[in-house]
Amino acid sequence: MTIVVTGASGNVGRPLVAELVAAGARVRAVSRNPDRAGFPTPVEVLGSAGAALPGATAVFLNSRALGEGLPGFVAGCVRAGVTKLVALSAINADDDFSRQPSRFRGDRNKEVEQLAVDSGLAWVSLRPSVFASNFAGMWSAQIRGGDVVAGPCAGSSSAPIAESDIAAVAAHTLLTDEHVGQRIPLTGPQALTNTELVETIGKVLDRPLRYREIPMDAVRRRFIGIGFTADFADAYAAMLSATLDRPAPVTHDVEKITGRPALPFAQWVAAHRNLFDGQGA
């Protein structure tokens, strides 16, 4: 079995490659910087997604990695005789695009799923919730600078999922046919508000961290000031506002598929505390 992983250097792609290698699969990792990818020797690393297809059995589709070439690449999978596609979508893929901030960073969650479904090949769509690493990206600078994390919607909730859990599920769906034709919602084990997320990080770091709610227009200006688009800022605000009146959904599909519970956010923070405190790897 030969499996192609697009976006192989990313937060999901890299642990997915490791899972597949450990399972004995032949892996072709597609990376924009193949010379610096740092994968183990058995992995064939390529800079071109199309070049990875001849003889491939299954393909992991990462829409951000494939960019505008996504539709053509899926068509190429069909021509190459690939038998299965596993798409990385998102739990909010059916929401209005105005509430999907990741679209403005290159994700095409609805499209990648639909292309897989329409391909005529066996398909699985993975719909994860917000990645745990997103909170390091959003909050680490503030945490290194003080004990207050300022942001919008203190009561907005999410159920962050560890990227390693997404990878473990992806490996299972690529290696078996147990979940063909399914859209699988994946979350962490608990829904936490922004206030609770910051408190969790504080407990792990043994610091009195707290979340301070600030107006959405201030958040919008901050995003734009650090290089995000206004559309991203508006979609982020709309997404958070939509969860104020109802807790984020929690599913148990990670445990059902992998046989182990999804990693709690606190454990993910403990394993990646250097991202927050800057104290080494």
Q: Residue 201 falls within a domain, yes or no?
A: no
Residue 109: strand, helix, or coil = helix
CA distance 116 to 168: 20
pLDDT at 281: 47
pLDDT at 270: 97
- What is the number of alpha carbons within 13 Å of residue 6 lying toward its C-beta? 27
pLDDT at 280: 55
- Its domain, for residue 177, covers 2-131+162-187+248-263
Residues 6+ apart with CB under 8 A from 255: 261, 262
Q: Residue written as tokens 């199309």?
A: 50
Q: Residue 281 falls within a domain, yes or no?
A: no
> Do strands 192-193 and 157-158 pair parallel, antiparallel, or not at all (unpaired)?
antiparallel
Closest alpha carbon to 198 in 210, 190, 183, 187:
210
- 131 within 8 A of 163, measured Cβ to Cβ: yes
pLDDT at 41: 83
Q: Residue 206 falls within a domain, yes or no?
A: no
Question: Mean pLDDT, consecutive 10-residue segments, the chain of 281 residues?
Answer: 96 97 96 84 94 98 97 98 98 94 94 98 98 94 95 95 98 98 98 97 98 92 86 90 89 98 98 86 47
What is the pTM (predicted TM-score) of this model? Answer: 0.95
Sign of CA dihedral 280, 191, 98, 242: negative
Structural domains counted in the chain: 1
pLDDT at 267: 98
Q: Residue 268 falls within a domain, yes or no?
A: no
Residue type at position 177: D
CATH number where 40 lies: 3.40.50.720
Closest alpha carbon to 66 in 129, 122, 119, 13:
13
Give 41: exposed, middle or buried? Use CB within 10 Å, 0-12, 13-18, 19+.
exposed
Q: Residue 224 falls within a domain, yes or no?
A: no
Give, as one character, the DSSP assignment of residue 263. Answer: P
Residue type at position 243: T
Give 114: exposed, middle or buried? Use CB within 10 Å, 0-12, 13-18, 19+.
middle
Q: Residue 33 falls within a domain, yes or no?
A: yes
Q: Residue 127 falls within a domain, yes or no?
A: yes
pLDDT at 34: 83
pLDDT at 187: 98
Q: Residue 277 falls within a domain, yes or no?
A: no
CA distance 162 to 16: 12
